[in-house]
Structure 1
Amino acid sequence: MRVLIFSSDRQIFDTGGDSFHRMAAYGSLLDSLTVIVACDLSEPKTAGNVRLVPTAGGNRIVNFLRSIRLGRRFAKSEKFDLVVVQDPLFGGFAGWRVARAARAKLLVSVYGTNVFDPLWKRLAWKNRLLKFLAAFILARADAIQTDGFETEADLRKRYGDRVFWKPIVPENIEEYRELPRRTTPGEFKVLFIARMLPQKNVRFLVDVMDRLRKQPLQKKISFTVVGDGPDKKFLDGQVARRGLAPFVSLVSRCTRQELPGLYSTHDVFILTSRFEGFPRVFMEAAATGLPIVTTRVSGVTNVIEDGTSGFVAEQSDLEGFVGKVARLAGDDALALGFSSKIRADFWKRYSFAVTIERQKVIFDYLRGR
Structure 2
Amino acid sequence: MDRASTDGRRAQECTPVPEARNRRPRLVYVVPHLSETESQHFAHIPALLAALGKRIDVAAAVERGNPPARLAGVRLLLRVRGRGRLGRFLSTVRTVHHCARAGYRTYFLRYSTLFVTVLILTRPVYRHRILLWRSGTANVPVPGERTLWHQRLRRLLNRVTARSVDCLVTGPESMVPVMAGLCGVPRDRMRLLYNDIDAERFAPLAPEARGAARAKHGWGDDEFVLLYVHRLSHRRGVRLLVPLLTALRTTEEGPARNVRLIVVGDGPERSRLERAAADPALGGRMQVVGPVPNRDLPELYAAGDCLVMPSYEEGFPRVLLEAMASGTPVVTTDAGGSADVVGADYPYVAPVGDLDALIRHARAVKLLTPEERRVLGQRMRERARREFSPQRAAAMLEAIL
Query: TM-score, length-normalised on structure 2?
Result: 0.74
Q: In 2, distance between residues paired with 1:348 and 1:4?
A: 27
Structure 1 residues 203-214: aligned runs within 5 Å? 203-214=239-250
Q: Deviations over 1:304-361 (max 9, x none)?
A: 246x534122222222211221122234387566434323333332322112111211
| Partner residue in 2 for 1:366 | none
Does 1:70 pair with 2:107? Answer: no
| Partner residue in 2 for 1:195 | 231
Q: In 2, distance between residues paired with 1:266 and 1:276?
A: 23
- Inter-CA distance 263–12: structure 2 relative to 1 (3 Å threshold): closer
> Pairwise CA RMSD of aligned residues?
3.5
Q: In 2, distance between residues paired with 1:153 and 1:114?
A: 12
Which is greater in Rg?
2
Does 1:224 pair with 2:262? Answer: yes
| Partner residue in 2 for 1:315 | 352
Aligned-partner residue type, residue 143 of structure 1: C
Q: In 1, distance between residues paired with 2:383 and 2:335?
A: 19
| 1:39 aligns with one of 61, 64, 67 | 64
Aligned-partner residue type, residue 330 of structure 1: L
| 1:53 aligns with one of 53, 56, 79 | 79
Paired residues in the alignment total 352
CA contact (8 A) 1:272 1:294 kept: yes
CA contact (8 A) 1:85 1:95 kept: no
TM superposition shift of 1:91: 4.0
**SS of structure 2 residue aligned to 1:298:** coil
Identical aligned pairs, as a percentage? 20
Q: Deviations over 1:164-190 (max 9, x none)?
A: 22223234x213445346587643221
Q: In 2, distance between residues paired with 1:213 and 1:160?
A: 48
| Partner residue in 2 for 1:85 | 109
Aligned-partner residue type, residue 231 of structure 1: E
TM superposition shift of 1:32: 5.4
| Partner residue in 2 for 1:167 | 194
| Partner residue in 1 for 2:140 | 119
Q: In 2, distance between residues paired with 1:105 and 1:143?
A: 8
Aligned-partner residue type, residue 109 of structure 1: W
Q: In 2, distance between residues paired with 1:45 and 1:277?
A: 32
- Inter-CA distance 354–243: structure 2 relative to 1 (3 Å threshold): same
Does 1:346 pair with 2:368? Answer: no
| Partner residue in 2 for 1:23 | 49
TM superposition shift of 1:247: 0.8
Which stretches in structure 1 are left out of the alignment for 5+ residues? 364-369
Q: In 2, distance between residues paired with 1:12 and 1:31?
A: 25
Q: In 2, distance between residues paired with 1:340 and 1:26?
A: 27
**SS of structure 1 residue aligned to 2:348:** strand
CA contact (8 A) 1:27 1:50 kept: no
CA contact (8 A) 1:296 1:314 kept: yes
Q: In 2, distance between residues paired with 1:29 and 1:12?
A: 26
**SS of structure 2 residue aligned to 1:174:** coil
Q: In 1, distance between residues paired with 2:157 and 2:276?
A: 37
Does 1:240 pair with 2:268? Answer: no
Q: In 2, distance between residues paired with 1:189 and 1:228?
A: 20
CA contact (8 A) 1:303 1:342 kept: no
- Per mean C-alpha deviation after superposition, the further-off stretch among 17-26 and 269-278 is 17-26
